[in-house]
Amino acid sequence: MKKYIIGIVLISCLSLQGKAQLYYNNQAARFFRNNYLANPAFAGSRNQPFLYGLVNRSWIGFDGAPTLIQFAGDLPFGAHSGAGLQVASDKSGVLQRTYAKLSYAYKIKLGGPSEWIKLGFSLTGYRQRLDNTAITDGGAIDPTAKAFNDQDWHVDGDFGAVYQTEGFQFSATAFNLRRWFPPLNKQPVDLETVACMASYAFQTSSNIELKPLLSARFFTKSNWVAAVGGQFTYDHLFHASAVWQNTGSICGTLGFMVKQLGELNFTYASNNKQGYGQQYEVGLGVALPGKKLNEVKQK
C-alpha cells in the first residue's frame, strides 16, 4: 500500500516538474507590498536596502496543506542598478521544494523627469525532494523515490520589465525561460508563462494614497487568471488592500508601517469557486540604512 501511495506522489511530482509550475507567485505581497516577488525588474526599486520575509499557508483544511516560507532582499547600487536575492522552502504533504533566485535590474531614464523603464533578469536554482519517512518501507528505501531525491539542482530564469511615469506603472514578467524551448504548447506540464500588472497611485492628500490595480497571469494549459484590486495607504502608518480574482477568490491585506523603516502585513484569501484554495499570509518587511540612490518609492 505504501509503494502504491509513493507511486501516486511521484507521478504528481513528475507532472509538476520544476519550480515555476509549483510556485505560481501565490504570495499576496506581490500585488502591493513587494513587487520584486513577482518581477526581477523591481530589484533595487526602493531608496534603500529592503528585506522581506513571509509565511504563507494555503489550501486550509486539507491534510499536508502547502506551507511556504520565503525571504527576499534587494538593494539599489550604482546610479541605475539594483540587485536582489530570494530563497524559499515550500512543503506540500511529503514533497519539499526549495529554490534560490538571484536578480539584477537596470533602470533607463526616458523623456520626462519621472519617466523610466527598468529591465531585470533572475537566475533560479531549484530542487524537489520527498520526505524520507514517506519513501521507506520496512527499512528498505523505494528505488524510484530514491532516484527522484537524488536529482541535481535545476536551473531556470525569468525576465521582467517595468515602465513608470508619474503615478502610472506597468510591469510584465516572462517566467521559466528555459522551458520556452521547445514551444510552450508542447510542454507536458502546466507552466506560468507571463504575468502583467498595471496600477496608478493617486495622492488625494498629503497623507492619503489610493492605488487601483489590474493584473493578469497566463499559463500553458490552465485558463488565464485576472485580478482587480486597490490599496489605501495612510501616512506610511497603515495600509489596507483587497484583490478579487476571476477564480472567485478574494484576497484582503491589512498592514502597519513605521514610516519607511518597516512594516507588518496580514493577509487572508477566500476559497475559489471550486471551494478550495483558502490561504493565510504573514509578512514582515525591514528597510536598512543606505544611500538613497533611486527616486522610486514603492508604496
At position 250, the amino acid (one-letter code) is: I
Hey, how many other C-beta atoms are within 10 angstroms of the C-beta on 81?
Answer: 17
The gap from C-alpha 252 to its chain's centroid, in whole angstroms, comes to: 16
Structural domain count, the chain: 1
Asked if 117 and 111 touch (Cβ cutoff 8 Å), the reply is no
Q: Give whole-number Cα distances, 141 to 2, 96, 136, 146, in Å.
A: 11, 17, 4, 7
> pTM (2 decimals)?
0.84
Domain of residue 238, residue span: 2-287
For position 8, which CATH number holds?
2.40.160.40
C-alpha dihedral (215, 219, 104, 98), degrees to nearest 10: 110
At position 97, the amino acid (one-letter code) is: R
Q: What pairing do the DSSP bridges indicate for beta strands 154-165 and 168-174?
A: antiparallel
- Within-domain flag for 221: yes
Taking Cα atoms as reference points, which of 225, 273, 275, 281 lies closest to residue 251?
Answer: 281
How many whole angstroms separate alpha carbon 157 and alpha carbon 58? 25
Backbone angles phi, psi at 135, to 5 degrees: -105, 5
pLDDT of 15 reads 40
How many whole angstroms separate alpha carbon 286 and alpha carbon 34? 12
pLDDT of 111 reads 84
The gap from C-alpha 102 to its chain's centroid, in whole angstroms, comes to: 14
- Within-domain flag for 299: no
pLDDT of 85 reads 98
∠ at Cα 281 (280, 282), nearest 5°? Answer: 135
- Within-domain flag for 297: no
**The three grid cell numbers given for residue 36, joined into one nine-digit string:** 520584486
**The three grid cell numbers given for residue 145, joined into one nine-digit string:** 523515490
**pLDDT per residue of the chain (299 residues) written in tens, 0 to 9:** 444 444 444 434 444 443 333 334 478 999 999 999 999 999 999 989 999 999 999 877 777 788 999 999 999 999 899 999 999 998 887 788 899 999 999 999 998 778 999 999 999 998 888 776 666 666 666 676 667 666 788 899 999 999 999 899 999 999 988 877 766 556 656 778 899 999 999 999 989 999 999 999 998 888 899 999 999 999 989 999 999 999 999 999 999 999 888 999 999 999 988 888 899 999 999 999 875 544 444 44
pLDDT of 188 reads 57
- Within-domain flag for 295: no
- Within-domain flag for 298: no
- Within-domain flag for 166: yes
